[in-house]
Structure 1
Amino acid sequence: MIDTHCHLDVAEFDADRAAVLARARAAGVAAIVVPAIHAEGWNGLLALCDSAEDLYPALGLHPVYLDRHSASDLDGLERAIAGHRPLAVGEIGLDHYLPELDRARQQTLLEAQLSIARDADLPVLLHVRKAHEEMLAALRRARVKGGIAHAFNGSLQQAQQYLDLGFRLGFGGMLTFTRSSRLRRLAAELPVEAIVLETDAPDMTVAAHRGERNSPEYLPDVLQALAEVRGESPDVLAALTTENAGAVLPGLDGIDRSGSGRVSAPPI
């Protein structure tokens, strides 16, 4: 399995990060994509990913952290991408769920980062809440390489539009809650080629660990929930979602789908 979205670099993991990684690997997680949220964290994130061959960095400016971003961060992002060649640009996006976030500033930040990703020929990792139509319009204008709409919660029609633009859709802990009926129905109806797995740890934990810190070691719970709603084999879905992740994030092509880890490391 590949965890396509896990904030393993944040402080919540400082006390036991090595143990968390060991348990995730033992659970069958062959690779973890670690997306950034603000420029202050880029160096630590890159150092973490340099320390282990199964950790892959993404660099970006998260829309929820507008008050921590400065105009110079966009120039810094271009330099960091040129110097480190991350797997993707992310986590970037639009959040219209939180009313205190300035929508115009979010839009400007998103479009600038989409332009950077396009020029660098990198995919993007998207955060989208209550803003799918605005995001889809921005993606059509930007013509980026594709990527993942993380924690997808839109409609089947919106899902198809993302797929048409070269994106895959991330499903995580919310899928494990039986009350998430609309999300579970969507996961059952989508073509399997659309789906990738994620945890978004330390947030959005699985049902079995409700109220606790989320962790990449819980990715098998997401896989099991996906197998249940689709009526398909977990082993088959593990292989297919790994293939899907590699298709949209080309730097993951070196993952050994037998589950034994990376065959060859891409440049970082």
Structure 2
Amino acid sequence: MRFIDSHCHLDFSEFNGQREAIIANAQALGVEQFIVPGISLAQSQQLLDFSQHHGPIHIGAGLHPYFLSQHASEHIVGLGELATAHKHRWCAIGECGLDRSIGEMDKQVALFEAQIALANELALPLIVHHRQSHDLIAASFKRCRPRYGGVIHAFSGSEQVAKYYIKLGFKLGVGGTITYARSVKTQQALRSVAIEHLLLESDAPSMPLCGYQGQINTPERIPQVFIALARLLQCQDLSALSEQLYFNCLAFLRK
């Protein structure tokens, strides 16, 4: 079986000194490719070099709401210039989105909608972060409709929310969240949608699976996320499921 980790931050310092070993171990487990999102203007620039030295990596350019304090107003202009200058190097715009735990929602919304517009301009999908913000994201999508879909990273929410995103052309990122008993609503939502709308992700070094709390998460856990999803969907044909999920990610990457 083969997999793609649709969302991991392999460039983060948590992996310094062990990055190549982690990538090799993940590949030995069938995780063939990795998508690394952008989180700031400077880091997005650095990803251009990073992706050429660390395995089969696809990269995004984005301003992540969690790092809001690092984003100056002119950075969205810089991101546009960077993304346009290297248009064929990016698989997506993002990680972008809205996060109620951060505050400064006006600034977040302005940056998010500017990135939606940039993705539309460059005909690229979006990698969307959410935290207690599905309603705010829907409002932004109404004002600035995304034309090329994308993925809702680390999806959690109801069946209604899941189908709203899918109708707009988005796929749903499935990670360690589903391994926790408390994620009943998300589990029910994932059961309600067709498999072709799902992607596997680790969100390494974050989002550890149940049983690994407090540990650095890595793409090596993707097969375990896959097994958890197969059990959730009561899928017996694991090879067919893995191929569908792999194809889903290739479709996101337009490969």
TM, length-normalised to structure 2:
0.93
> Following superposition of structure 1 onto structure 2, how do residues 143-222 of structure 1 map, counting pairs within 5 Å?
143-144=145-146, 145-222=148-225
CA deviations on 1:205-225 (whole Å, 9 max, x unpaired) are: 112422200001110011000
Shift of 1:230: 0.6
Q: Matched residues in 2 for 1:179 and 1:166: separation?
A: 28
| Paired AA for residue 93 in structure 1 | G
State the SS of the aligned residue for 1:107.
helix
Size of the aligned set, in residue pairs, is 249
- Structure 1 window deviating more from structure 2 (26-35 vs 208-217): it is 208-217
1:256 aligned partner: none
Partner in structure 1 of residue 9 of structure 2: 7
Alpha-carbon distance between aligned partners in 1 of 2:95 and 2:68, rounded to the nearest angstrom? 13
8 Å Cα contact 2:6/2:173 also seen in 1: yes
> 1:72 is matched with which residue?
74
Matches within 5 A, 1:100-139: 100-139=102-141
Shift, 1:71, TM fit: 1.6
CA distance in 2, matches of 1:207, 1:236: 25
Q: 1:35: Cα distance to partner? A: 0.3
Secondary structure of the 2:171 match is strand
**Matched residue, 1:237:** 241
Tell me the amino acid that sits aligned with residue 197 of structure 1: L
8 Å CA contact 2:157–2:185 kept in 1: the answer is no
Return closer, same or farther for 1:12/1:53 CA change in 2, 3 Å cut-off: closer
1:28 CA displacement = 0.7
Q: Stretches of 4+ moved more than 3 A in 1?
A: none
Q: Partner residue of 1:63?
A: 65
Return the letter of the residue paired with 1:27: L
d(CA) in 2 for partners of 1:172, 1:238: 14
The residue identity in structure 1 corresponding to 2:196 is E
The answer to whether the 8 Å contact 2:162/2:189 transfers is no
Distance apart, 1:52 and its partner CA: 4.2
Letter aligned with residue 123 of structure 1: P
**1: CA distance, partners of 2:83 / 2:157:** 30
Tell me, yes or no, if the aligned pair for 1:147 and 1:249 is still in contact at 8 Å. Answer: no
Percent of residue pairs bearing the same amino acid type: 36
Give the AA of the match of 1:138. Answer: S
Q: Mind listing any 5+ residue stretches in structure 1 that lack a counterpart? A: 254-268
**Equivalence for 2:45:** 43
Deviation at 1:43, TM superposition (A): 2.9
Provide the C-alpha distance between the structure 1 equivalents of 2:220 and 2:55, rounded to a whole number of angstroms: 17
**For the residues of structure 2 that align with 1:190 and 1:27, how far apart are their CA atoms?**
27
TM-score by length of 1: 0.89
The two structures, once aligned, show a CA RMSD in angstroms of 1.4
CA contact (8 A) 2:158 2:185 kept: no
Q: Give the drift of 1:53.
A: 5.2
Q: CA deviation at 1:183?
A: 2.1
Tell me the SS of whatever aligns to 1:193. helix
